[in-house]
Chain A
Amino acid sequence: MKEFALIFRTSTPTEPAPQLTPAQLQEMMTSWSNWMGGIAARDMLADGGHRLGIRESKTVAPGNVVTDGPYTEVKEFINGYIVVKTQSVEEAVEIAKACPMLFGGGKVEVRPLVAPDDNS
């Protein structure tokens, strides 16, 4: 078994967040719950991970440079992650393909966790 982080990327919050109706919000919660639950039901969830907030985030650069907000490049920022355990990267990719992130305009980055005996 190998472990892969699934990192959720989304575009910068320059444009105001779309106003979702309560029904849409409920649906969003349900799809995340079912996606995570489905991974866990196959015993492939290594770490439930976290969502990462925007408010109160800062980026610290050399020379005491502190800027507001998360570190972004190409107008993308990370807003959460989970860790899955699978036989292969392909299997991790299959899991990522069903991630609700993709249906809200985001992307999922699949990255192996580096194990002690692995220097890649």
Chain B
Amino acid sequence: MDLIPELYRKEYGKMVTVLCSRFGMAYMDIAEDIVSDTFLSAAETWGMKGVPSNPVAWLYTVARNNALNYLKHDKVFEKRIRKDLIQGGERSFEMDIDLSGQNITDSQLQMLFAICHPSIPAESQVSLALRVLCGFTIDEIAQALLTSKGNINKRLFRAKEKLRAEEVEIAFPEGSAIGARLDTVLVCLYLLFNEGYYSASVDKVLRKDFCFEAMRLTYLLLGYPPTGKPGVYALMALMCFQASRFDARIDDSGELVLYEEQDTSRWNQELIDRGSHFFVQASGRGEISKYHLEAAIAWWHTHHVAEREKWENILRLYNQLLILEYSPIAALNRAYAFFRVYGKEKAIVEAEGLQLSGNLFYHSLLGELYTGVDKERARQHFVQALALAGSEAERVVLERKLSNNC
């Protein structure tokens, strides 16, 4: 990656978050403007005078000065901030902008908690996190989420309005509130990871970045004692196990490779080992969250064991997961595991009982199960699935199955 895009990806979010946590949530747009201006100065200055020896330090110094300048010159903003600060018991106007590593970490965690406010819909939380915490551009977010820039802008605008209206503070929730908010934070990070992992976007590098950003933020939670909970370790383990198969599940031409056909030498052993390490830390404290169960399922998927043993365990874990919390995708995955243990005929009964007609994966699963059992039904289900497929990669897989069936 080129220097400026790389710095932008790594530093934009950190700087916006620190400024915003200093100014208050209401001034997020101003914080974003200041950081954008900083990058503009960098592009001009570095182009003319060469890249400084420590570009990050340069950016921080300039962002800090820009922020202080802004405070001096923008009368309206000055009045508001001054008033807020005095009300907050802080009389000194020469506010400091602390861009130390510790303060960046704290600000990012606090911002993560603020963004995951219950009044903000989950999809907007994810978009906000991608923009403000991870520094993805609107273009990149729209591309990965397969929607328009206009939609993402609208989503961000409404979410920011809501954060202002609710007067959400950028701070760690107090005492017991942190536990409840942590649940929302984990859902947001889980979705963020899945957006990268399952996105139908063709940009593989970008998708991987989404996954790694979700892992970075989860890792920050682990480093903060009140949030270093078993469920967070389990989510981290789940992400490591899933990410270990990232390169194996998409081939060089961007096509999806089904699990059964993956080249297991392309699984990333280092990530599997890290996942196991986090999973051990998640266990033995008497708490079993859905992340524990999903991590355990992912563990079985990343290990070489006898097929029968593997799928019996995966089925049992899906049973447990569904008993804990229903979701259509878990129900469909369970039906697939059922097929691997008990064969197609029995799995068809289970799958049809789910009544998820109109769901892409429901039809592709039934197409798969009817293949070799009832050719016509298999064909019908694959055709229905094709009509529902949203991406080229999905269509390619389904068309291949359809032609194999005939």
The answer to whether B334 and A41 have CB atoms under 8 Å apart is yes
The answer to whether A40 and B350 have CB atoms under 8 Å apart is no
A32's nearest neighbour on chain B, judged by CB, is B319
Known A42-B331, A43-B331, A45-B326; judge A37-B319 contact (CB<8 A): yes
Compute how far the CA of A36 lies from the CA of B325 in the bound complex, rounded to whole angstroms: 12
Within the complex, the shortest CB–CB distance from A8 to chain B, in Å, comes to 16
Q: Scoring B residues 301 to 336 as 1 if CB is less than 8 Å from chain A, else 0, what string do you get?
A: 000000000001001101110110010001100110
Within the complex, the shortest CB–CB distance from B319 to chain A, in Å, comes to 3
Taking CB atoms, residues of chain A closer than 8 Å to B354 are 41-42
Pick the contact of B315: A36, A37, A43, A45 (CB < 8 A). Answer: A37
Taking CB atoms, residues of chain A closer than 8 Å to B312 are 30
Pick the contact of B350: A30, A33, A36, A38 (CB < 8 A). Answer: A38
Total CB contacts across the A-B interface at under 8 A: 47
Is A48 in contact with chain B by the CB < 8 A criterion?
Answer: yes
Is B176 in contact with chain A by the CB < 8 A criterion?
Answer: no
Is B353 in contact with chain A by the CB < 8 A criterion?
Answer: yes
Known A43-B326, A45-B323, A48-B323; judge A34-B315 contact (CB<8 A): yes
The answer to whether B353 and A37 have CB atoms under 8 Å apart is no
Most buried by A among B323, B326, B355: B323
Q: How large is the interface on B (under 10, 10 to 19, 20 to 34, 35 or more residues)?
A: 10 to 19
The answer to whether B355 and A34 have CB atoms under 8 Å apart is no
Within the complex, the shortest CB–CB distance from B328 to chain A, in Å, comes to 8
Taking CB atoms, residues of chain A closer than 8 Å to B330 are 41
The binding surface of chain A is classed by DSSP as helix
Known A41-B331, A43-B331, A45-B326; judge A36-B319 contact (CB<8 A): yes
Taking CB atoms, residues of chain A closer than 8 Å to B318 are 37, 41
Q: Scoring A residues 57 to 81 as 1 if CB is less than 8 Å from chain B, else 0, what string do you get?
A: 0000000000000000000000000
The answer to whether A41 and B322 have CB atoms under 8 Å apart is yes
The answer to whether A40 and B353 have CB atoms under 8 Å apart is no
Taking CB atoms, residues of chain B closer than 8 Å to A37 are 315-316, 318-320, 322-323, 334
Taking CB atoms, residues of chain A closer than 8 Å to B326 are 40-41, 43, 45
A44's nearest neighbour on chain B, judged by CB, is B326
The answer to whether A34 and B331 have CB atoms under 8 Å apart is no
Compute how far the CA of A38 lies from the CA of B352 in the bound complex, rounded to whole angstroms: 11
Compute how far the CA of A78 lies from the CA of B330 in the bound complex, rounded to whole angstroms: 32
The answer to whether B316 and A33 have CB atoms under 8 Å apart is yes
Known A41-B350, A41-B354, A42-B353; judge A36-B323 contact (CB<8 A): yes
Within the complex, the shortest CB–CB distance from B48 to chain A, in Å, comes to 63
Taking CB atoms, residues of chain A closer than 8 Å to B323 are 36-37, 40, 45, 48
A43's nearest neighbour on chain B, judged by CB, is B326
The answer to whether B353 and A38 have CB atoms under 8 Å apart is yes
Taking CB atoms, residues of chain A closer than 8 Å to B320 are 33, 37
Known A42-B354, A43-B326; judge A33-B319 contact (CB<8 A): yes
Taking CB atoms, residues of chain A closer than 8 Å to B315 are 33-34, 37
Within the complex, the shortest CB–CB distance from A26 to chain B, in Å, comes to 9
Beyond A41-B326, A41-B330, A41-B353, 12 additional contacts (C-beta under 8 Å) are A37-B319, A37-B322, A37-B323, A37-B334, A40-B319, A40-B323, A41-B331, A42-B354, A42-B355, A43-B331, A45-B322, A48-B323
14 of the cross-chain contacts (CB-CB < 8 Å) are A30-B312, A34-B315, A34-B319, A37-B318, A37-B319, A37-B320, A37-B323, A40-B326, A41-B322, A41-B331, A42-B331, A43-B326, A45-B322, A45-B323
